[in-house]
Structure 1
């Protein structure tokens, strides 16, 4: 069994990589930092020596680099079983003062990169008539959060990617599930005065994902939020 995980070295992606490896999957892991990828690969290989762990360093804000990486993946692993489109970036801004470059970068990383990986694998998923794509959305797709204009814009775009993938791939027996978390304890909050102990934890999302994957059910969306309202 083979799975792709984007944003695999930190937070949600790292925990997802661990649970997928524990379930017997070989992994192709993507992130920007090759040193961090190598560390996670060694960590997993030490526990699961019979499984394959590929790493691909890629800046997903670079459309050309993303397309090239997706092409390499398809050439090396055309027969994937699971794709976890988790990579994302966050920066605070408002509609009245957003920076075009930052907004475009967030659109590339948070939405268009996911679309490009799905596009690259679409013919193979359609032909094999099996597989499961997980997309990591955000509660900002449902609730307006002050200070998160560009992030919200990018996640709404990602929701459009998800809806199109759901509608077009389900007829080919390919499952597509969007996980929509509230505030998650990740490195995005480093240096901020935030009650991260009350947030959704990355391992909670990883458990939710693997349980959904192994259930075999056709699950469209899952929402997971902290117990404290407003987070």
Structure 2
């Protein structure tokens, strides 16, 4: 059986991806800051796919030590990790000139650092066996920055840049790297906004894309996939 590690997996896109991989019979290592959410989600997955292993750890992925702890915990309990889904992230609407003093570091530590550290942790092992797939969930803000979410745009630019470097470094080594670039997607970022879900990308759309990309032939790699609402960005 294959093993996948997913950061921030109890809500939104991470949750949808975890469910989609569970239905594929793929073992899961998932983390969240909320212990009860993890417990409930693990139980839900096990009812749905009793044949797979699900391991959980409470972790704040904005803290490097906790990211490394989650990675070590996963390797110890699962062994080789076939799939990394760098999903954890935060969105903070603010102009850079009006933003709080800690916003830049907090968003860099949440939107970029975990992907970098998990790549460093698992990448050499993937290279040694010549297989693996890394998915980095970016944002259309990495392509078209949003002034009203300045730091967020910068960190997503950085994540897409990291994805491109990963791709070049892994090219020819049997390891695939894919940037998923969602537009307006119905996640907790929109919880205080009244929206029409029929005019948005759904987390299940992102999960479907990731599973289909993962299931492509050994010789195919999707460098990046952009998924936007059919009627345009909200």
Q: Could you say which residue in structure 2 is the equivalent of 1:60?
A: 61
Q: Could you say which residue in structure 2 is the equivalent of 1:122?
A: 123
Q: Could you say which residue in structure 1 is the equivalent of 2:171?
A: 170
Deviation per residue, 1:118-165 (Å, 9 max, x gap): 110012111111011111010001112231111111101111221111
Instruction: Give the Cα–Cα distance (whole angstroms) in 2 for the partners of residues 110 and 195 of structure 1.
Output: 26
Check if 1:187 corresponds to 2:188. yes
Instruction: Give the Cα–Cα distance (whole angstroms) in 2 for the partners of residues 100 and 167 of structure 1.
Output: 34
Instruction: Give the alignment's Cα RMSD to 1 decimal.
Output: 1.3
Instruction: Give the Cα–Cα distance (whole angstroms) in 2 for the partners of residues 62 and 126 of structure 1.
Output: 26
Q: Structure 1 pair 111/175, CA: closer, same or farther in 2 (3 Å)?
A: same
Deviation per residue, 1:20-74 (Å, 9 max, x gap): 0101101001121111111111011112212100001111111222222223223
Structure 2 regions of 5+ residues with no counterpart?
A: none
In the superposition, the TM-score normalised over structure 1's length comes to 0.95
Misfit runs of 4+, over 6 Å? none
CA contact (8 A) 1:185 1:200 kept: yes
Q: Could you say which residue in structure 1 is the equivalent of 2:222?
A: 219
CA deviation after TM superposition for structure 1 residue 229, in Å:
2.1
CA contact (8 A) 1:136 1:179 kept: yes
Select between 195-204 and 69-78 the one with higher mean Cα deviation. 69-78
Q: State the number of aligned residues.
A: 231
Instruction: Give the Cα–Cα distance (whole angstroms) in 1 for the partners of residues 184 and 124 of structure 2.
Output: 35
Select between 171-180 and 58-67 the one with higher mean Cα deviation. 58-67
Q: Could you say which residue in structure 1 is the equivalent of 2:3?
A: 2
Q: Could you say which residue in structure 2 is the equivalent of 1:12?
A: 13
In the superposition, the TM-score normalised over structure 2's length comes to 0.94
Q: Could you say which residue in structure 2 is the equivalent of 1:45?
A: 46
Q: Could you say which residue in structure 1 is the equivalent of 2:87?
A: 86
Q: Could you say which residue in structure 1 is the equivalent of 2:73?
A: 72
Q: Could you say which residue in structure 1 is the equivalent of 2:232?
A: 229
Structure 1 regions of 5+ residues with no counterpart?
A: none
Per the alignment, in what secondary structure is the counterpart of residue 215 of structure 1?
Answer: coil
